Structure 1
Amino acid sequence: MTKKNYNNMGNYFGFLLIILVFLFANAPISSSQDFDIRGRVHMDAFIGLNNADDFQNGFNNRRARLGVNGQVIENWDGRIEVDFADGGVSPNDFRLRRRFSDGSRLWIGQYKVPQGLNELTSSNNITFIERATNSNMIADSRRMGLAYERFGRALGFKSMIFGRALGQRGDITGDMPLGGAFRGVFAPEIGSGRLHIGGSVVYESLMDQTIIGFSDRPEARDSGGGKSLIGLQINTPDLEGSFKSGLELALMHGPLSLEAEYLMVNVLMDEGDSPLFHGWHVQSNYVLTGESRAYSSGGFGTITPQNGRALEIAARFSHMNLNDSGYMGGKQSNLTLALNCYLASNLRFMANVIFVDISTRGNGTGDRTPVIGVLRSQFHF
């Protein structure tokens, strides 16, 4: 299919979005509104422990979000949230959501593309201070679009048609990218525990855009905002789009949780080879005080202390490969050890030590093996 055809698809999508909004906007109007202020603050301290000359020691205000969330009218709820962290002001969730009698929901606005258990777990609830590199590089974050989801006790799915993200308007020439995503989850209860199996596919046409890039910090951000030790940018008029897929596996049983995830991205070209980059991570966490992680609608929640505080230990190994078809973005493997202390479901303190191994880069620089430490205090409301 040519880019001209994709441009026509973008026009059709716009008309479809307008039609669907009118079709589903038939909820009875109510004068009652119930909005709550919401926010989160994540404050970090970064310490280079060994071979860490690439980084800056010091403090970092990782997240400082403020917003509102609540019911607009009957069956409709909304959320607006902005991040005021060190890097500047950026929009997060800006969306409306319609709930139907069968429990399914229609989403309109900006929110996360449905791919990746690690990405879709809230930053308030992820086990480690940062998400795994494969998730950061491959899984899309928030985009504007239209989605439909339905989750039962053991089966669920979410599909989405999406375009650009808020704030990207000045970076796009011509028609905006257009993509589609689908994620399915099977999560049966097994005794007192739960098994999670998930899969996702995401296709995106880049339309008139000719640049796509991949990079990530080594699962930590230093005082200066962080430095990526692997990464690449593909800039060619032959760029057509990308196809991403992922597999998720998790098991929760009492205080023990196991998680594994594989993600790949195939960069699609009109001419020449289409490189494929991939990564994975495995992790395990155990709550020493006996509590269990919450789980619902295909994702993890938080830990709620039962006797004043909860202590959790965890380990993760992640790997990302950005070398294929002549592109040499490098390989990164990380081993992260973690200790978390929960004083409440919305207040915790975290400590990570990360052993990083960087190799096979095409930029003429040598391998890197930094060891870094990060501390975090966080709360949300």
Structure 2
Amino acid sequence: MKLSRSTLSVALLAALFAPAAHAEIALDVIGGSEISFEGLVQAEGNWYDNDLVDLNSAGTGGTAASAGANGKDTEFGIRRAEIILKGKGPGNFEWTLGYDPSAQKSVAVVNESNNGATNVTSTVNSGGKWLDVNAKYKIGGNANHYVQVGQYKQPNSLEELSSTRFNDFISKAAVTNTYAVARRTGVAYSYGDVNWSVTGAYFGRELTRNLGQGQGFGLRGTWAPINETGNILHVGLAYVDYDTDADTFRLRSRPDADLATQRLVDSGDIRDTDRVGIGSAEGLWVHGPFKVQGEYYQANLKRYGAGHDDYKSDGGYISGVWNVTGETWGYKAGVPVTNLPEDPGAGMWQVGLRYDTLDLNDGSGNPTTGAVAGVLGGKQNIWTAGVNWYWRSNFKFALNYVMVDTTKWSTVARGEVDDNPNIVEGRIQFYW
């Protein structure tokens, strides 16, 4: 499936003239289903101030076939080019069909992003990626009580479940990319009201070949004791549990730079593994033009065989965003909703600050021999400062400054080695 230049041009022009309050494009009514067309294009640039590791080289974390990997201090590319068809009806049915023809997938990687990784990257193929492909039935016509079948984001992670087009920062927090289970095929049941929800799901692999695999289940509960315009308090708990693929598991993280080819913290391949369980707690507070949110994750990996201890790791983030132009947020289905600018011509300005931390260590090193007992994947602490400008109903411009502080055990150095790069990131986004 390819997105032709003519098709994209028509879509862009149509979106430019779409009404501000209804960004998606209505296409037709077929078989009682009202069909609309949505899209998202994100172009990004990264500028690296490297410390030890060249963040844009193949090195030992990838191959020459890896995307980017040119050894330069800059990298530019299309991050997403999503095309989505949606249908409402007949009756209480809804459906979604989404695809990203620009997405690259690693042939030898399982669960690399948003699912935990299991194998070393070998090659990268540009072949596209399936997004949401599912059908939903609203029981009794209630949007908060439904059954869903197909591929969808699993019930975990406040940040992962929030819309990509409205993320507060260019890269999701490292813990979200490391621990959150994103889209998988399965079946889900959810029941709730405007202030609370309980969702359970059973899932398998991703539709796109060679990506997320491993059967499992997920549970998420949310409660918003305060849910008023400009005044929201939300808390939630989630848990996912799934099989590791080929009895091998791996966790690693980019330094909050999606175009980087290197990871500064990496557990390496952990063999003889059975299942992994990941629990998380989340919180959100909105007061007028201010929003604070945070999440904490803990992963527990079960192993078998003599001499193999279970592996534990954890991490979290906290962020704050201020809408300088005065807009506030909404709340729907257990996630915050970013509103359109009150003055479309002037746009909406945001400034934000985030701190996220990830600890992949569960072992010790011998300073005499350099040998490792357990797993020493490293620790990573990152500060991100960002500015966003939402212009009219279809455009967003973002600029982030990222300060990375990592420490990882080195067998050669027989001790911990620091690597503290800085990164400037920019994004231009068009959506309809």
Higher mean C-alpha displacement, 342-351 vs 50-59: 50-59
**Aligned pair 1:189/2:226, yes or no?**
yes
Normalising to structure 2: TM-score of the pair? 0.76
Cα 1:141–1:171 change in 2 (3 A) is closer
Residue in 2 that maps onto 1:228: 263
Cα 1:364–1:121 change in 2 (3 A) is farther
Q: Choose from 250, 259, 262 the match for 2:284.
A: 250
Instruction: Compute the RMSD of aligned alpha carbons.
Output: 2.0
The 2-side partners of 1:303 and 1:357 are apart by 34
8 Å contact 1:78–1:95 — kept in the other structure? Answer: yes
**Aligned pair 1:84/2:110, yes or no?**
no
Shift of 1:213: 1.4
Q: Choose from 298, 301, 311 the match for 1:267.
A: 301
8 Å contact 1:264–1:279 — kept in the other structure? Answer: yes
**Aligned pair 1:97/2:136, yes or no?**
yes
Q: Choose from 352, 356, 372 the match for 2:404.
A: 356
Residue in 2 that maps onto 1:27: none
Q: Choose from 330, 353, 370 the match for 2:421.
A: 370
Shift of 1:205: 2.8
Amino acid at match of 1:31: G
Q: Choose from 330, 336, 342 the match for 2:384.
A: 336
Normalising to structure 1: TM-score of the pair? 0.85
Q: Which runs of 5+ in 1 are unaligned?
A: 1-29
Cα 1:58–1:203 change in 2 (3 A) is closer
Amino acid at match of 1:128: F
SS of 2:181's partner is coil
Q: Choose from 58, 81, 84 the match for 2:75.
A: 58
The 2-side partners of 1:109 and 1:248 are apart by 26
8 Å contact 2:93–2:135 — kept in the other structure? Answer: yes
The 2-side partners of 1:364 and 1:125 are apart by 43
Shift of 1:171: 7.3
Matches within 5 A, 1:70-219: 70-85=87-102, 87=104, 88=126, 89-101=128-140, 102-103=142-143, 104-168=145-209, 177-189=214-226, 192-206=230-244, 209-219=246-256
Q: Percent identity?
A: 26
Amino acid at match of 1:120: L
Shift of 1:114: 0.9
Per-residue CA deviation, residues 116-160 of structure 1 (Å, 9 max, x unaligned), is: 111111111110001100111011111110001123121112110
Residue in 2 that maps onto 1:327: 375
The 2-side partners of 1:190 and 1:65 are apart by 32
The 2-side partners of 1:106 and 1:100 are apart by 7
Q: Which runs of 5+ in 2 are unaligned?
A: 1-29, 57-71, 105-125, 364-373
The total of aligned residue pairs comes to 344
Cα 1:94–1:229 change in 2 (3 A) is same
The 2-side partners of 1:364 and 1:124 are apart by 43
Cα 1:362–1:145 change in 2 (3 A) is farther
Higher mean C-alpha displacement, 225-234 vs 337-346: 225-234
The 2-side partners of 1:362 and 1:377 are apart by 38
Shift of 1:78: 1.0
